[in-house]
Homo-oligomer: A and B are copies of this chain.
């Protein structure tokens, strides 16, 4: 049995056909530039890649139809037992994988208020797959679900309480599926039951989030009401003095929309360095002696180290630190700069291991005198496939 995993954005649709037991992919790929005449879909099977232009109307439905053709041609259609969808925002309602019903779709639509860029796109993906896979059950896996175990002290802001009660303004957190995956992995590396494990996990990609996990459950996380809060990211500012927004508008004449764009798209590594949002490019420039590249990396790593350290207030003991995501899995430079600032918490990198464990490898990168620190490549698709499969079994289907 295979699970089709769908991660649908406003102009893209990622997919993976996966064995939920082993995580083995029969095929994966992405449809990109949807809703434009450059729309295309690429498939990867057995390491071979194939790209097809999409035909009008260039939309998500077109992409799904092309995907079904491809799946059928490869004799995989019959093996699909269910569809698992990544859905970004589940609000306070969804803390579990959830069978998609018309009512659930309504709720996802309502939650679009909290995730206007993501939930509507996720719904488009759900409806496109429903059309061609009407015989299969569809399951929603929410990015926020893993963090629904946070205690009040972690999710309530220092704001008038009615903003939480009446308008749902609180910390939700994101990247839940990734944090869940790597903490599970770390618990098996440690050979300790997940319910007894305390970790801090750092998902460092284009978006970055740090989470504190106590007894296998998320108790705090750096992303907040939206994915703008927390550490410095590729193009997002992370935490700033909120007054800066007033200053930009009142003193410097920005519109609030411009500030929104500034903080989400022009800040972070890109804004500080003035070079790129891509960590690789900035590391190259760092080596070439560029000062602003160095500053961007210094601020990035210092703020991540501070956020990791801050979560020591959430735990009485700490089994280890986990790095994942594009940067966390691949950049020994960043990992080393972070760990070097965590000596008071008992961390120290083993520079040789740190250089070795990259590009998909998994393992320890800490010195023998240090608390454990692992690099664990994340695999959100696998979690989605697994949880979708679990739900079917639990429901006796």
Residues of A at under 8 Å CB distance from B?
113, 152-154, 156-161, 163, 167, 169, 171, 224-226, 228-229, 232-233, 236-252, 256, 259-260, 262-263, 266-269, 271-274, 292, 295, 298-300, 302-303, 305-318, 341-345
A159/B341 in contact, CB under 8 A: no
**CA–CA, A229 and B241, complex, Å:** 5
| Known A306-B313, A309-B312; 13 more pairs at CB < 8 Å | A153-B299, A156-B272, A158-B232, A158-B269, A158-B303, A159-B237, A159-B267, A161-B271, A229-B240, A243-B263, A305-B313, A316-B344, A345-B345
B243/A242 in contact, CB under 8 A: no
A242/B228 in contact, CB under 8 A: yes
Asked whether A159 and B310 contact (CB < 8 A) given A229-B241, A315-B344, the answer is no
Closest CB in chain B relative to A150 CB, distance in Å: 11
A interface: dominant SS: helix
**CA–CA, A271 and B240, complex, Å:** 20
A157/B237 in contact, CB under 8 A: yes
B256/A159 in contact, CB under 8 A: no
Q: Which residues of B contact A159 (CB under 8 A)?
A: 237, 240, 244, 262-263, 267, 271-272
B161/A298 in contact, CB under 8 A: no
Asked whether A246 and B242 contact (CB < 8 A) given A302-B153, A308-B313, A310-B307, the answer is no
**CA–CA, A251 and B169, complex, Å:** 12
Closest CB in chain B relative to A231 CB, distance in Å: 8
Q: Which residue among A239, A252, A315 has the maximum number of chain B CB atoms within 10 Å of its CB?
A: A239
**CA–CA, A158 and B235, complex, Å:** 9
**CA–CA, A302 and B153, complex, Å:** 7
**CA–CA, A322 and B167, complex, Å:** 38
Can you identify 18 A-B contacts, CB atoms within 8 angstroms? A113-B251, A152-B295, A154-B302, A156-B295, A158-B300, A159-B240, A159-B262, A167-B247, A167-B252, A229-B242, A239-B239, A240-B242, A242-B245, A243-B260, A302-B313, A309-B313, A312-B344, A313-B342
Q: Which residues of B contact A345 (CB under 8 A)?
A: 312, 344-345
